[in-house]
Amino acid sequence: TSLRELTALGIRNAEKLAIPSVRND
């Protein structure tokens, strides 16, 4: 795995966690 892949997954995970939290709020 490359740093780009890890960062891409991290961003996607962050978005998945952030979007629902915003909607719930």
Name which residue leads in pLDDT, 11 or 25. Answer: 11
Is the pLDDT at 24 greater than 80, yes or no?
A: no
Range of the structural domain that residue 2 is part of:
1-25
Is the pLDDT at 5 greater than 90, yes or no?
A: yes
What pLDDT does residue 17 have?
82
Q: What is the mean pLDDT of residues 1-11?
A: 93
Q: Give dist(CA 17, CA 11) in Å, integer.
A: 10
Q: Give dist(CA 5, CA 21) in Å, integer.
A: 24
Mean pLDDT score of the chain, rounded to an integer?
Answer: 83
What pLDDT does residue 25 have?
58
Count the domains in the chain: 1
